[in-house]
Chain A
């Protein structure tokens, strides 16, 4: 009985945190960009405009929902959910802390401890693109179609780099279990960033492409494709796409923290209490979320062929070489 209660509480807390993060991100995007551009950003609803996501959310729910003539109605309606659900599911295996002891119960701080956690995340990440492709195709609009096509090409290209950069970390940890990976990085000097800097850089670049974020936001690409795959979406279905995007960003930021920055490990305080670990995890993840925004409002956008060239001709060979070198070093040192 207690087990079930703990499990339910964990689910509620983690999902709540994820959705809240997504809402905060939608505000942070506008506030941070405003600060970078000598502006204030939303500040009329609630203190510092914190209720802005609430206002946007209610407005979207109350908005008329349009399905364009000639759209494939079923797929058009399913696509946003397909886009948002995988990211929300993927968060389940992210370990956001070590083990907490509350009222005598030992609680592992993740919703589910899968021994193939990384495979699970990658599989769900691969599903996420279907929402974008189907949404683009089902809209019966050329702009949407082009956006969907671009997204599929981009995802395929960058998923390889993403997987290979993770592979190097997996080789070092000797496990696909994310908990094993953070256990291996408990001490500050054991953080993977010190052993796999190249994998970290590759992962970070692929992370931007995988979440369709600027400078790789070709599926949307406002100046060219108006809204890309979501050009024809209105009301809450449109908001779902964004919710999905922000959730995916959060998961990717958390994964980056977990793989390379020790997850909940606190530097120079190996036996920190569990809640300090959780705070450390949140701080690190927040930094990567900030990085998403920072890059978006600083850099121009690449061109699509440049993106593909970068993916196939630069990142993929580097990632392959990194895995081979890592493997060789591990094999040699093991002997």
Chain B
């Protein structure tokens, strides 16, 4: 009987003859009722699911009905942690810290497959299910789950809370030794058993790592140290005169490329000279810096192993290239091969400040050092990570990916058990809120755009402070990775003089999921869903960019109708992305209602996307050689209706923001970038056009038939946050124009939406079900798509700027390299330059105005 009582205490509690039992039950009921109806969430919006989480708070779903809309960004006031999105091991420390800082009782909902199981990211950076670090109450499947599913999870959680016996727990607590569930005793967590069970056969277990033999024997690069493209497809592009002049006498060797961009191989000793001459020749922007590892696992080592690549663009028009091939004269690509035992190249970020982050990324991912770089730290992985993930001999699932987290966890628990934290805090060295690793590596210099300016934070502060007697007392303030204004998981370590920002150091990589590595593992075709989750507020636009790069490499072109559909979905995606920009920027500056207006409108776009693709976001509807399915009349009718009514909303936003004195004051003259600075910082898209540079890839290098559409490219005049806002507002109006033209075109451009080419293109799904041959083709293309040997770069004008894919194929089914040129990363990079000397409050406006999505920044 005794044991029965323990197992089922409900019987004694609900016994009406026992008065105390009745009281306890009533109290239980009241407490549970209040708890379940007042679940204030901690929105840990990590990635795509965060956008659906915002939609959940928005007009259509309205989480407020359950009393659960009061999202608090300080963990102290939350009851429910909503882990929405992909948790990386780098972010895990912060997530765990936040969870520990929440007061009891607290619950966790794992929203989406990534937080439930790791989802599609079986990579070296991603936690394979948040239940390995947090006790999860409800799991929500979906990628991302629709908001309805999360509401269902909330209701399930309410039922779970209703079963609790809080009074008994209170009494038990006061009687026995205190069990502090909220301070990190992993063993006391409900899922601890799961964790221990997983420890042995976790995919990340180093013992589980088996070398994967290549299915296709790869060609050895041979004695030619350069990667030779396919002359049948690409061939050596003709370089404009100024490039050949600039590189004359440097032994620059023209190499074939598949995209028409002149490519030169330059020896390391001559690189520095080549950079300087190209800079003088008018190449004023660094488009990307990346590298390719030519090692083949299973084959003898190749030396020189690493090929480092630079691409530069010129915004100074070359007078000799006024014709249609103008675009070709705009860019030049350099390549240099280095040995793995001597992996370094000279830096170029003194000439092109925008190359700073790219070089750090190459260093992080490949271990190639950049000689002369002022601040060569890891960019995406934690500082003491110890591996270079994009090297070919690094396994996809990583080597002990959780090592740093476990180490941190052990130390944290030891500290907590020994009471050291209390002592430290008493000594005035308290652990800061949400600050897992506040220590900066020593010797970081302020990286300055203007040459000759002060580089020591103290000097900068002195130059800003004037004769203020209080200046010079610097304070470090950590913002993020979980902060309401950082749009996801950006972290900014700011040095403040009072409220004036002296320096801001963006720390990215908290959402680095290892996409480029994943592409090498998965193959070309299976990577499509991953492109959706780059800039997840405009998924289809990313699909198009990736498909175009692959088509360039394959030498094919989508049929006309597919191109029109691509333009339509690109522009609708742009509107979706800019709506997110307006909503995020306005909520940061306190205009909360605008946020909801935007989401009301986005819901209409979601409905259109849902009708066309079957999912609200992350649609994956573009394929090599076209789009998955034709657009039907109901979708076009819905799009027409949306486009007719959407400008009315923009007019309303004009009233609420554009002509609002407070909004203007908050944005005008904040974060001014001159055209020259914007170009040098590698900015593209609205951030560049806000500074008055009329450069739009839809105009400069038209793709998918953009040259047939009539639209304007708005540019700003001052280059401040307000200009960037106006540019984006106008771009939405122009997108409406383009969409309308595309819809008109759809009326008379008929035909297939998918190319008939069994080498690269999936057969239409309908035929797959009927024909054996088509099924075989489908199988071959999905599992074994081989693109011709070569390399190609293709960029599209995404909402954030130039979204480029640099793809390298060796003719086998395994991609050699897929580098994603993320415009958002460059926007983040610009933050320190435009924030210096401004007030802390301006940082919020600046983050909003630079408009980045961390999924794309971190990749």
List the interface of chain A (C-beta within 8 A of B): 30, 33-34, 36-45, 49, 51-52, 54-59, 62-66, 68-71, 140-143, 146, 214-215, 217, 221-224, 226-227, 230-235, 238, 297-306
Contacts and interface: CB of A to CB of B under 8 A. Distances in A.
Contact of A238 (B64, B77, B591, B840): B77
Nearest to A306: B665
Contact of B593 (A58, A297, A303): A297
Interface in B440-476: 475
B428 A58 contact: no
A66 B433 CA distance: 13
B432 A64 contact: no
Contacts of A36: 593
Contacts of B33: 45, 55, 58
19 contacts: A30-B70, A37-B592, A41-B62, A59-B79, A63-B103, A64-B103, A69-B426, A146-B499, A223-B587, A226-B483, A227-B77, A232-B433, A238-B76, A299-B590, A299-B660, A300-B586, A300-B591, A303-B666, A304-B839
A64 B662 contact: no
Interface string B73-101: 11011010000000000000000000001
Contacts of A223: 484-485, 587-590, 844
B34 A297 contact: no
Contacts of B657: 300
A56 B843 CA distance: 33
A299 B839 CA distance: 20
Residue of B79, B424, B590 with most partner-chain A CB within 10 A: B590
B34 A59 contact: yes
B231 interface: no
Interface in B383-437: 421-422, 424-426, 428-433
A86 B665 CA distance: 34
A227 B74 CA distance: 6
A33 B69 CA distance: 12
Given A37-B597, A224-B840, A306-B665, A301 B62 contact: no
Contact of A62 (B35, B69, B475): B35
Contact of B662 (A54, A55, A56, A302): A302
A231 B74 contact: yes
A45 B67 CA distance: 8
Looking at chain A's contact residues, is the secondary structure mostly helix, strand, loop, or mixed?
loop
- The winner among B105, B422, B662 for most chain A CB atoms within 10 A is B662
B72 interface: yes
Given A70-B426, A234-B103, A38 B596 contact: yes
A69 to B, nearest CB: 4
A41 to B, nearest CB: 5
A168 B590 CA distance: 33
Given A58-B31, A70-B426, A232 B76 contact: yes
Given A37-B593, A43-B65, A59-B35, A226 B103 contact: no
B221 interface: no
Nearest to A218: B841
Contacts of B841: 221, 224, 303-304
Contacts of B811: none
B76 A34 contact: no
Interface in B751-781: none
Given A55-B37, A223-B588, 8 more contacts: A38-B597, A55-B34, A58-B30, A66-B101, A224-B843, A233-B77, A301-B591, A301-B666
B64 A40 contact: yes
B500 to A, nearest CB: 10
B842 interface: yes
Contacts of A238: 76-77
Contacts of A301: 589-591, 662, 666
Contact of A70 (B182, B425, B477): B425
Contacts of B592: 33, 37, 297
A33 B70 contact: no
Interface in B550-565: none
Contact of A303 (B58, B72, B429, B839): B839
A190 B35 CA distance: 51
